Amino acid sequence: MAYRRFKLNRSPDTPPSKTQQVAAALQYDPDRDTAPRVVASGQWKVAEQILEVARQHNIPVYEDTALAAALSTVNVGEEIPPELYLVVAEVLAYLYRVAKIKV
């Protein structure tokens, strides 16, 4: 497996622009997976569709353009790389606290 370096350039003062519109969806089944899997990712219209499906199914959305961009480099169906474990764990913990979802 080839490893990629991920640098998450986050700046709370800079909101995502229309040119950076990207979305990724994760799924994690602890009985099957060793790490969360990317189940959808895309830019522009595909990103809008991913967000619309999430809204239709009451799936919480966490906005982080840098993380979405990093996740978009992972092939759909693949587990996230170890470099993203910590940040994705923080997102899952946040969603668990805020949305009271079962993680």
Would you put residue 58 in left (φ > 0), alpha (ψ -120 to 50) or beta? left
Asked if 78 and 38 count as a contact pair (C-beta separation under 8 A), the reply is yes
Of 97 and 75, which is predicted with more confidence? 75
pLDDT (tens digit per residue) in 35-87: 999 999 999 999 999 999 999 998 888 899 899 999 999 999 999 999 999 99
Tell me how far apart the alpha carbons of residues 101 and 92 are, in angstroms, rounded to a whole number: 9
Give domain limits for the chain: 20-99
Give the span between the Cα atoms of 12 and 61, in whole angstroms: 17
Residues 50, 93: Cα–Cα separation, whole Å: 21
pLDDT tens digit sequence for 11-42: 444 444 545 589 999 999 989 999 999 999 99
Q: What is the pTM of this model?
A: 0.74
Topology of domain 20-99, CATH: name from scop (3.40.1690)
